[in-house]
Amino acid sequence: MVSALEMTKQLIAFDTTSRNSNLELIRFAQKQLEALGARVRLSYDAGRTKANLFASFGPDEDGGIVLSGHTDVVPVDGQDWSSDPFAPEVRDGRLYGRGSADMKGFIGCVLALAEELERARLREPVHVALSYDEEVGCAGVTTLLADLKQAAIQPRLAIIGEPTLMRPVGAHKAGAVLLTRCHGKEGHSSKPHLGANAVMMAGEFIAYLAELGEELKADRDVRFDPPYTTLQANRISGGTAVNVLARDCEVSWEYRALPDRDHESLVPRIEQHLHDVILPKYRRQGVDAEFETQLIARYPGLCFDEQSPAAALACELTGINALEAVAYGTEAGHFQQAGVHAVICGPGSIDQAHKADEFVALSELESCSQFLRKLITKLAA
């Protein structure tokens, strides 16, 4: 039997940065699971360059518990790593490598215990779900859930193994990533009244985001940190020269909203301000001035459900009675929307995710393995 550490090291060695295919890792996992008798189904992206895996142990019936993790990782470009991020190393009780915490540590623990799942006489199914493109908008899990719906497979609950230091998390914020294009009219910068400067348009747009962000702070839920909906621009690009009025400018921005609020009204409200307040001024100078906003990705929040059997199970297995809430997004909200009770609980700390020298403590892998063994024991006939 391969240890959780060795399995995680093998997974880290697959460069599954979101811009790349994850098929090598999926085929590796498929081979491991099918060799143990798991029932495996795959679902693909439109180009069939990426796949989700859904494998089932135990009785072939409705219900069951999903152990879910995403296979993609964020880029290492421009980061100062002490070692090769895709050549995992153990140092001082920690496993270093891209995805060690987010979230190949959890997947490694699950795959390492697959043989124990196969041997156990399970009373209900245990499913292993591996998805693609979580880091760029949870694209894969939507395809996976659609495939399960078409196949009439309805799990009872899901444990999403994002890094929580093995503490049960019962809620996370909703979010969206958007791109707003500002189109102006070029001209000489000495005569700004004869053109429409797209960079200045973008500046007014960003200022409004900041203003609205301050307003949103009034609505609070102290279980989250920060305890309010956040709104910010994170990237801006535009213009051609310092003495030329910019024709085009792009602003990438996001919101992270309290999960049980009407966050979908934010974008229409912002668009209305752009067109009713900011745009008229620039159209007086350039009749073709325009704002265009594109939704890049959106994910639902995970709402607190104190009666959730997923939360109750995670609390029982960890011995921790209090549910926590997090500001980052996961696939749990998608499972909840699909009628599957969901909880987040996995090894490692989110503070290590996406950074150079990402790591997971070996003690966390051991804690996760113990958690999963308790689950298998509980489900054994």
State which of 276, 299, 322 marks the end of a domain: 299
CATH number at residue 233: 3.30.70.360
Q: Could you list the residue range(s) of the whole structural domain that residue 261 is in?
A: 174-299
Task: Let me know whether 156 and 260 are in one domain.
Answer: no
Task: Let me know whether 42 and 165 are in one domain.
Answer: yes
User: Catalytic one among 72, 135, 324, 331?
Assistant: 72
**How far out from the chain centre does Cα 112 lie?**
23
The pLDDT value given to residue 356: 97
Task: Let me know whether 265 and 129 are in one domain.
Answer: no
Task: Let me know whether 52 and 148 are in one domain.
Answer: yes
User: Catalytic one among 133, 134, 135, 358?
Assistant: 134
The pLDDT value given to residue 335: 98
Task: Let me know whether 110 and 164 are in one domain.
Answer: yes
Identify the DSSP state of 351. Answer: G
Residues of the chain scoring pLDDT < 50: none
Active site residue 72: yes
State which of 241, 265, 299 marks the end of a domain: 299
Q: Round to whole Å and give the CA distance between 218 and 228.
A: 7
The pLDDT value given to residue 287: 75
- Cβ neighbors of 130 (< 8 A, separation 6 or more) are 25, 26, 29, 52, 53, 54, 68, 69, 70, 71, 107
* Total structural domains within the chain: 2
Task: Let me know whether 159 and 30 are in one domain.
Answer: yes
Q: Give residue-wise pLDDT tens across range 182-238.
A: 999 999 999 988 899 999 999 999 999 999 999 999 999 999 999 999 999 999 999
| Contact yes or no for 57/115 (Cβ under 8 A) | no
Q: Round to whole Å and give the CA distance between 248 and 242.
A: 14
CATH number at residue 348: 3.40.630.10
The pLDDT value given to residue 123: 95
Q: Give residue-wise pLDDT tens across range 254-295.
A: 999 999 998 889 999 999 999 999 999 999 876 789 999 999
Active site residue 92: no
The pLDDT value given to residue 1: 79
